[in-house]
Structure 1
């Protein structure tokens, strides 16, 4: 649904003003960002990533932010090195390394984030943590997934993909022991400690209890100040730590649920849509915490940035099966287009079979043409924008070729031109990448259209 809306908005001819916590969605559909901070509005050109880069540059000039920036950068560099050493699937590995390197560049834009937490390290670990063989999963007489084979070991980073209703939540509920398998073997490690997050858990919080009391109930022997410090990383500070959950927003309840999981020292995280109520700052903090986490992670999320930054393997849940998906999220978007085309209903009347088949083919072709149109407009727009950037770069390079520009008296002018050149080169890279991606999707859809003709 997000991908469909994204394509529709790209082709929308009017003015668009939106609020979203999905950074990939913002990058795809907006060309300006208005930032609300300290009762002021600041307008930034470009998408969300461009906003982060520009804001990071501003914050980098503030001395009090310098040390935290360096710590974040060191953390990201260490994580990227560790992941590169472990990378096995080339396509997924390259996609994720690009996402991590971008995150490394953008992290300084969030030095003033109120969130800073880690999942506490488990005392003991088993390997495997969990082993499911020949699993038949479902509810009562209804089988949702069959012949499921899945083994989770420490360090696994798995994202679940698949259409809504295909069984992703059913799988996670079974692994979390909330739902018993209908048949098959499910073996849990001796030292398995599961941290399970699902939307319905927000409703299970005690509305009369405060965040501090929730944590005291699971850690009665711990010093109160230690618990308050821990909750502070989730932005529960001062009086907010002692207020009842009753009037908390969905985002605050989600943060509290994650805090309780993080305190519990899990070695397996099962996360079913953990970012639904979270803002961008908390999503980034969760991403960094998951990257530091030493245990296994199995996650379902509509947040593509979270998936790209924290997983290195995808499982596809569809048609009653769970299978490895050898591709990245762009490949999955193309798979979805093909999957929807295959879901076109086929009439059962034999005399009219040929006529019905042709009608279905025409409908599928029309649907593909409809999907093709916004991609064509987007590719054309990106190509036009890229040509404009190339013209500006050429003009700048001509100006920079003037030897008189390098005289001391004109150092400010030189600095401005070099800064503009750097900005345009960044924009050039973004446009080229987006244009190539748009062309890939366009070519894939065109091939499907020709095949259905």
Structure 2
């Protein structure tokens, strides 16, 4: 259990948290939300003991481990797999310990069995694959990867170490869609307490069972996912606003009586009574309206279709084609989401479409008047930190008056104060809004967005959805934000195995495909066949397969338990050769159990599809 009691903390004289209390039961998965700058990350640092409280206390069980992604993994020559394995410091220490004492050896082996040490490599590799690394890459040194990819290694490390309290601060900012969906599924099965700061609405709806809201320096815990929280919060605000309005009218009525009759002797007593009522009345404050975040994209003129047409195209690097046989068409009213696992070529296709990468073959026809806006995360990192947002737009639109330049900044939620602030002092969300503005200054007919919601809070993401919906140009999206994709995209392209093909099913189907581990998604169909109702025989066979899978898991679990008992006996280690044999047998049973569980999940999925 995590118990936060009456805590207060301030930074530079500004109080972020004041007399706040909340209790998070053991094993709960909690999403933490609040405006940018409210103090969510500061709260994490307080829980980890990195900051000294001005008042109150944090209570966690004695010996409980707290883990989080503090910083990226160093770019050294240690492999990704070994880096992740080393993050479980207890296992690493036990594996390195040498002893001739049979009893100590037995203690070590018992503890290693308790923490499932023999399947560690398989678990670490599985997590690394989940966050986007290939089988080949997990054996490569950390120095071979950029900072963003090393953040994924750091995330994999803390997940592998499985702390009792897992603190994650915007973890999907490091991931693509596939990694975000994998993390969502992983957190759902995580056996300990999870505290998750996130602006990813889909993640907060699927991975947590409660929302902790940091607002007005207080902490309030709401049961349910983000959508439930949003509905509850809206209802509360409506009640609060109505109560405040009613009280204001009552105050006005009382004050009017006092003002009219305080000088009359016959009414003095009643007037004084009403003054006391006013003094004792506890003020109901109307809810503070959230600052309205906006994005206003300039409207391009309409072009005749298609704006881009590719026939037999191919593209790649250094003479090697990454994507081939491309036959694609984009019209100005298209809203396209690019799907595909990491490394399949989504960014390569984005560069080809935006004319940042030349085609190696085929024919590409672009409308002669086509203007393209391109946004990618690296552009946020390339902003001039010592310049202001006003400096950035003045460089691009030097012919415009300052008042018009400020108006453009305001149309992307950057007010007068931010316009004159050095970019290095802006928040991540403000920098992202500036980069989006720069990408759309010339009213592009096609807008290509690669992870546009990183660092944007929930209000900004909703504003982006509204702006893209109203925008009259074409949109090509690469994003891990399922909520954004579901509301904006009306066409899905799957980038896989060197090809780009239409994905005819919906995002929910794609999510199920990714989580199933299947290598053959249903894509590029000319027409979706009507679903055939399963026969009684097929239904019974599917049920039988589920029962068989459950029986296999039960049998393997019994074998695992027996082997753990045997491995815990001190006398076994008097014969090292025999001990190694039994340890290998145990590792084989663990691996077989994982395969059996995967088959069971597949059988369950097949049965559920028949039932639906």
What's the TM-score bracket when you normalise by the shorter of the two chains? 0.5 to 0.7
Q: Which segment is superposed worse, 117-126 or 160-169?
A: 117-126
CA contact (8 A) 1:193 1:267 kept: yes
Counterpart of 1:120 in structure 2 is 298
1:51 aligns with one of 229, 234, 249: 229
Which residue in 2 is equivalent to 1:8? 186
Residue 196 (1) aligns with residue 379 (2): no
Tell me which of 320, 324, 327 is aligned to 1:142.
Answer: 320
Pairs within 5 Å for 1:165-180: 165-180=343-358
1:123-146 Cα shifts (integer Å, max 9, x gaps): 353421111111111112221110
- CA–CA distance in structure 1, aligned partners of residues 319 and 436 of structure 2: 33
Q: Is the 8 A contact 1:334 1:444 kept in 2?
A: no
Q: Match for 1:444 among 587, 597, 605?
A: 605
Cα separation, 1, equivalents of 2:451 and 2:326: 21
Deviations 1:166-212 (A, max 9, x none): 00000000111111111111111122111111122123322332111
**Cross-structure match for 1:153:** 331
In 2, the alpha carbon distance for the partners of 1:238 and 1:339 equals 49
What is the 5 A alignment of 1:86-105? none
Aligned to 1:94: none
Give the CA deviation at 1:294. Answer: 1.1
CA distance in 1, matches of 2:319, 2:228: 51
Q: Give deviations 1:318-374, integer Å, cap 9, x for gaps.
A: 01110000111221123224555679xxxxxxxxxxxxxxxxxx999865644578x
Q: Distance in 1 between matches of 2:451 and 2:395?
A: 26
Which whole-Å CA distance do the structure 2 matches of 1:110 and 1:173 have between them?
43
- 1:192-231 aligned within 5 A: 192-231=370-409
Q: How far apart, in 2, do the equivalents of 1:269 and 1:2 lie?
A: 23
Q: Where does residue 473 of structure 2 map in the other structure?
A: 295
Specify whether residues 339 and 186 from structure 1 end up closer, same or farther in structure 2 by C-alpha distance, changes over 3 A only.
farther
Secondary structure at 2:452 match in 1 = coil
Question: Do the aligned partners of residues 444 and 240 (structure 1) sit closer, same or farther apart at CA in structure 2, a change above 3 Å counting?
Answer: same
Please, which of 159, 183, 206 is the counterpart of residue 28 of structure 1? Answer: 206
Considering Cα pairs closer than 8 Å and 6+ residues apart, tell me whether 1 or 2 has the greater RCO. Answer: 1
Instruction: Indicate the residue corresponding to 1:184 in structure 2.
Output: 362
Task: Give the conservation status (yes or no) of the 8 Å contact 1:126–1:191.
Answer: no
- Say if 2:313 and 2:363, in contact at 8 Å, map to a contact too: yes
- Structure 2 counterpart of 1:336, from 514, 527, 548: 514
Residue of structure 1 equivalent to 2:577: none
SS in 1 for 2:384: coil
Secondary structure of the residue aligned to 1:298 is strand
What stretches of structure 1 of length at least 5 have no aligned partner? 64-108, 344-361, 376-440, 449-453
* 1:130 equivalent in alignment to 2:291: no
Deviation of residue 291 (structure 1)?
Answer: 0.7
Tell me the matched-pair count.
Answer: 322
Partner of 2:495: 317
Unaligned runs of 5+ in 2: 1-178, 243-286, 522-588
Match of 1:305 among 468, 473, 483: 483
Query: Is 1:262 the counterpart of 2:437 in the alignment?
Result: no
Q: TM-score, normalised by structure 2?
A: 0.49
Q: Distance in 1 between matches of 2:516 and 2:592?
A: 12
Label 1:256 to 1:368 Cα distance change in 2 as closer, same or farther (>3 A). farther
Q: In 2 relative to 1, CA 304–111 (structure 1 residues): closer, same or farther, beyond 3 Å?
A: farther
Secondary structure of residue in 1 paired with 2:196:
coil
Whether the 8 Å contact between 1:132 and 1:148 is mirrored in structure 2 is yes
The residue that corresponds to 2:128 in the other structure is none
What is the 5 A alignment of 1:54-73?
54-60=232-238, 62=241
The structure that has the greater radius of gyration is: 2
Residue 201 of structure 1 aligns to a residue in which SS? helix
**Which secondary structure does the structure 1 equivalent of 2:459 belong to?**
helix
Cα distance in 2 for partners of 1:327, 1:110 equals 42
Measure, in 1, the Cα distance between the counterparts of 2:395 and 2:452: 23
More helix by share: 1
CA distance in 2, matches of 1:142, 1:366: 41
Question: Aligned with 1:44: secondary structure?
Answer: strand
Q: Which aligned pairs between 1:292-441 and structure 2 lie closer than 5 A?
A: 292-337=470-515, 340=518, 369-371=596-598
Confirm or deny: 8 A CA contact 1:372 1:445 kept in the other structure.
no
Deviations 1:286-327 (A, max 9, x none): 111111111111101010000000011100000111000011
The 8 Å contact of residues 207 and 245 in structure 1, kept in 2 or not, is answered as yes
Task: Go from structure 1 to structure 2 and tell me whether the alpha carbon gap of 1:308 and 1:53 turns closer, same or farther (over 3 Å shift).
Answer: same
8 A contact 1:167–1:320 mirrored in 2: yes
Give the whole-Å Cα distance in 1 for the aligned partners of 2:304 and 2:419: 35
TM superposition shift of 1:239: 2.8
Please tell me the root mean square deviation across aligned C-alpha atoms, in Å: 3.1
Q: Provide TM-score, normalisation by structure 1.
A: 0.65
Distance in 2 of aligned mates of 1:226 and 1:290: 23
Compared CA separation, residues 231 and 34, structure 1 to 2 (3 A)? same
Contact 1:154 1:267 in 2 (8 A): yes
Give the Å deviation of 1:11. Answer: 2.1
